[in-house]
Amino acid sequence: MTLEPVHIKAISNFAKRIDLCRDDEDTKTASDLFEMLRELRYGGQVVLRSIGDLKRSKVNIDRMALSRNPFEITYSCDSGSTNPLSFDNGLLVDFCHCALASTPTDLDLHRKRTIVSATYSPSSKVTIKTTDEWEMFDESEVRCKIVRIQPGLLNKRIKRMVHNIAIYLSESEHILWIMGELDKDGFFIMDGPIYPKQLMYWMVVESDDIQIRYDSHAKKILQNYIDIMDHHIENRIPIVGFVKNPEDMQIMDTIKKQGGRVDIPWVLDAQFFKNTLSLDGNGGGKNSGNNRCITYTNWFMQPNQFYEKMLNSTSPLVAGSVDHKFDKEDYSLTFFMVYVPMTGVVFKVESPYGITKNEEMRNTITRKILYDLCVSGFPTTLSKADSVAKIRLSERQQIIKQFDGLKIDTMYNDIRWGEMDD
């Protein structure tokens, strides 16, 4: 055992001395701050504004679960990854594998897969046999491609960038490949944000160490996501990104940067929304007496700003760097927040403004998400997609064995902790 009882006692004594009480004299409450979200500005620009009335609502889980599902068919996509494999010769490789799932289950749809291997070596002397065209397998139900990030573009965050190229290219290409075959009366749920935010960040930032903005695959990924949104906006097919662990900070950062006597305790926007939506006023949780309800906000819009800390940078999706069919504003991010007191978890649901500017569509999407959460606690189709797409540890180890003559670049922690399935 690592910690003896005496150690636990010492930690317990310290925990009791970490006092969370605060002087309320100059402190704005969550409700006060929520009122600021009618239109939140910074530097003369709108960072966030409410679509329609600013409101917080709740729904009874039991009643909603007994209602009718707004959509007879639901689709979800997800990607599984080996995570970047680093070899002794400096080569980095990440295999990402995207699949779609549906409710009701469609086994033919589940069979289709898109696999992308993203590679990077800082040396131009290393030969990597990339493929311009897709290679087809399993009676043309599976397609694969190897891509290479050109030498010299990455000096930092190399594993993260290789992973982003692999996962976002596989996901966007798979959706584009199949979306024409999907029922136009269906509902589409993406795992995570609707846009590749981390990649977008480095497409905007001027950096000598991370020059992914010059990579052709990164540019293709951004265009792919615009093409996906164009398809859904044009055909009025609802598409959402279901963010399980929202980490945005823009609202909190904006309020803090406005100056004045604003004292707020939260770092993440999700922490603020959890307190705003809590029925007991203290962040709710499993001990709340209102566990049979789910609370949620109205929809919000982030017009032209980048979605994280960069309040002064415009998203590349609306900066004229990609082709698009609709007004730039239609690609702006919109979202609403959902809080489940039973589990103490807050989710973020995103969609492009071209979809949600219609009030009836907003209400239908909101009802669909609430229905899924009330029936299953989590969107069932998204769980299916995760199960279909996941690359498990045993499969990852089989992939590593295929690299004859190359050794994994092992560090001490790899030996100490080993590998585990998520």
- The tens digit of pLDDT for each residue in 342-361 reads 899 999 999 999 999 999 99
For residue range 78-100, list pLDDT tens digits in order: 999 988 888 888 889 999 999 99
Please report, to the nearest 10 degrees, the dihedral formed by the alpha carbons of residues 209, 212, 214, 220 taken in order: 180
In this structure, are residues 191 and 79 in contact, taking their beta carbons and an 8 Å threshold? yes
Whether the pLDDT of residue 319 is over 70: the answer is: no
Partners of 119 in the β-ladder: 93, 148
Structure tokens given for 316: 């590349």
Task: Give the pLDDT mean for 254-266.
Answer: 78
* DSSP at 150: P
Distance of alpha carbon 177 from alpha carbon 139, whole angstroms:
16
How many other C-beta atoms can be found within 10 angstroms of the C-beta atom of residue 280?
A: 12
How many other C-beta atoms can be found within 10 angstroms of the C-beta atom of residue 300?
A: 21
Where do runs of H (alpha helix) occur along 258-311? 269-277
Q: What pLDDT, on a 0 to 100 scale, did the predictor assign at position 134? A: 95
Helix axes 380-389, 359-376, angle to 10 degrees: 70
Element (DSSP H or E) covering residue 26: none
In this structure, are residues 346 and 268 in contact, taking their beta carbons and an 8 Å threshold? no
Of 257, 265, 111, nearest to 178 (Cα)? 111
For residue range 271-280, list pLDDT tens digits in order: 999 999 987 6
For 97, left (φ over 0), alpha (ψ -120 to 50), or beta?
beta
In this structure, are residues 173 and 226 in contact, taking their beta carbons and an 8 Å threshold? no
Whether the pLDDT of residue 267 is over 80: the answer is: yes
For residue range 170-204, list pLDDT tens digits in order: 999 999 999 999 999 999 999 999 999 888 888 87
Q: What are phi and psi of 98, to 5 degrees?
A: -105, 140
Percent of the chain scored above 90 by pLDDT? 56
**Pick from 113-127, 161-175, 230-244, 281-295: least confident:** 281-295
Whether the pLDDT of residue 285 is over 60: the answer is: no
Percent of the chain scored above 70 by pLDDT? 84
